[in-house]
Each structure stands twice: as C-alpha cells, then as structure tokens.
Amino acid sequence: MTDRVRKPEWLKISIAANERYSETKRIVESHCLHTICSSGRCPNMGECWGRGTATFMIGGDICTRCCKFCNTRTGKPLPLDEGEPAHVAQSVALMKLSHAVITSVDRDDLPDLGAAHWARTIAAIREQNPDTTIEVLIPDFQGRKELVQMVIDAQPDIMSHNMETVRRISPVVRSAARYETSLRVLQQIAESGICCKSGIMVGLGETPQEVEELIDDVRNAGCRILTIGQYLQPSHKHYPVAEYVTPAQFAIYKEMGLQKGFDQVESGPLVRSSYHADKSKMLAQKP
C-alpha cells in the first residue's frame, strides 16, 4: 500500500465571513438553493460569496463519465429538469449575484449532450439578471463543434473549459476527454471572440516542464485566463496525490503564465476554477 502524502500547513483554511457572505448564506439556506460552492465544500466559498460570486451546477448530479480525480457520482443520469434554467436564474436574482458561474456534469446520454439546456440556462439568467455577468465552465461536448457553438451563440461573458492536467497524465485520469479535443474546444471559443478561460490541477505527478508545455498549448489556442490549483484526492478510491506543490512553485507558474501573455492567472494551492472569477469581468469586455 502506497503511503499517503501528508497535507502541508498551507492547505489549512478558515472561512472568513463578512456581511455579504452572511446574507448570501442566509438566502441559500432559507430558499434551499443549490450551489457547487456549498455542496463541493469549496475552500474559497467565504471569499467568493463575500464578493458576490457563486457557482451553480446544472444537468443533475450524476455524470456519464468517471474521471479518477472527480468526486461527482457516475451512472445513468435522470432526465433533465426543464424548470432548471428558470430556477437557476431565480437563484442568481435572490442571491443578488454580480457574477454567476455555471458548470455541469457530462451528459453523454443525451442526443445534444446537454447543449440546448446550457443555452436555455444562459438565456434565462440573462433575461432575469441583465446586470449579472455570466461565466460558463463547459464540458467538451465530445468535440462536436456544432454543440460548442450552441453555447457560444447564447453569448455568455466568459467561456471556460478545463484542461485538467498535462498531456501525459490526461489519458490516465480523464475517462473520456482528450487533451487535443480540449485544445480544439478552447480554440473555437477564442475564435468566437468570447473571453476564453481554462484551468488545471497540479500535484498529479507532472513536471514543471510539462506544466510549461500545457501553458504554451493553452495560450496558443487563444486562452486569456488560466487557473492553477492543487489536486486534492476526494477519497482513497480516487487517483492519489503525488505531491503538494509549494506556494513558491505556484508563484513561479503564475509569473510564467503572465510572461507568456495571459491577461489573468490565478495560481495557488487553494485556487479552483471559479476563484476570483469576478475579476474577469473587465476582460470579458476587452477585445
């Protein structure tokens, strides 16, 4: 049995609360709203809610894929909830969000892989919350350009698709997604003119040279925003943590990304895909 790597001190957190966070928490609990922030026990929930940002997951909570790093349930999903787009839009309004992030499970069981549901959700949020910026973190839609285009046509402000890890490790931990397919999705987003974003985890056994290769690949695809965070093993059944990357190395990755031309790089042990997402608002308006 492989020895587990001990968590370092820098991964211990405490949720700092301010008035905005407390009010958001009260609204979420009193209206039984679902956010991935709370269900996923995100370490940055206090900071994001305190800044008027939250993340919602659509398409249900059962994924058709079984990636080795992800704690989302795998199996046969339930039919889509046709009322979900309106409910998410109402939740954004109740929480008075200035920036809403939407993600989803993979729905490879559906003819359009869930693309139309994505478009309806974006439209519903926009109609009810015209001043709220919308960021979407989409699956790869199996690389089908017409489905990616359906989400592009709904005109979110920021469109993200995560590379997750470096080229060598990608086929080991991602059950269906492919490195090159993900790059093509990012390129299609960037070419549409929508602000393009991606995210990766480190600590899976990659080398700094492999991370630099990925940074180059993503930047060459037209991506403008990048998040880099520490992989944390959800359970003993998931892919093991190879190392806990130091804050100093995260700082090196951040500087590297900025030097290579990214407009924004969030890099740190506790960074997740939507960390400081609201900082991207101005970038969404930038050509």
Mean pLDDT for 53-67 is: 88
Best CA proximity match to 137, nearest among 112, 170, 100, 108? 100
Q: Compute the chain's Rg from CA coordinates.
A: 18
More confident residue, 214 or 14: 214
Yes or no: domain 13-284 corresponds to CATH 3.40.50.720: no
Nearest to 158 by CA among 117, 186, 177: 186
- Distance separating alpha carbons of residues 97 and 54, to the nearest angstrom: 7
Share of residues in the chain with pLDDT > 90 (%):
66
Tokens representing residue 80 in the block = 């889509």
Q: Are 165 and 123 in contact (CB under 8 A)?
A: no
Provide the pLDDT confidence category of residue 53 given band limits of 50, 70 and 90: confident
Cα–Cα distances in angstroms (integers) from residue 97 to residues 51, 54, 125, 182, 213, in the given order = 9, 7, 11, 29, 36
Confidence class for position 96, pLDDT limits 50, 70, 90 = confident
Query: What would the two tokens of residue 99 be?
Result: 């920036």
Helix residue spans in 177-227 (DSSP H): 179-192, 208-220
The three-state DSSP-derived secondary structure of 230-285 is ECCCCCCCCCCCCCCCCHHHHHHHHHHHHHCCCCEEEECCCCCCCCCHHHHHHHHC
pLDDT grade for 39, boundaries at 50, 70 and 90 = very low
Whole-angstrom Cα distance, residue 283 to residue 264? Answer: 9
Say if residues 222 and 180 touch (Cβ distance below 8 Å).
no
- pLDDT tier, 279 (very low <50, low <70, confident <90, very high otherwise): low
In this predicted structure, the answer to whether residue 42 has a pLDDT above a threshold of 50 is yes
Whether pLDDT at 132 is above 50? yes
Domain ranges of the chain: 13-284
- pTM here is 0.87
CA dist 90 → 53, 97, 158, 224, 248 (Å): 15, 11, 20, 30, 41
Residue type, 242: A
- φ, ψ of residue 132 to 5 degrees: the values are -90, 130
* Per-residue pLDDT at 103 exceeds 60: yes
pLDDT band at 131 (very low <50, low <70, confident <90, very high): very high
Average of pLDDT values for 71-94? 91
**Banded pLDDT at 64 (limits 50, 70, 90):** very high
Average pLDDT, the chain: 87
pLDDT of residue 34: 56
pLDDT in tens, 133-189: 999 999 999 999 999 999 999 999 999 999 999 999 999 999 999 999 999 999 999
Nearest to 202 by CA among 160, 254, 261: 254
Q: Please give the share of the chain, as a percent, with pLDDT higher than 70.
A: 79
Predicted confidence (pLDDT) at residue 277 exceeds the cutoff of 60: no
Enclosing H/E stretch for 160:
strand 158-160
**Model confidence over 197-245: pLDDT tens digits?**
999 999 999 999 999 999 999 999 999 999 999 998 888 899 999 999 9
Q: Which of these ranges, 9-13, 19-23, 41-45, 67-71, has the smallest mean pLDDT?
A: 41-45
What's the Cα-to-Cα distance from 100 to each of 42, 159, 181, 218, 255, rounded to whole Å?
16, 12, 26, 24, 27
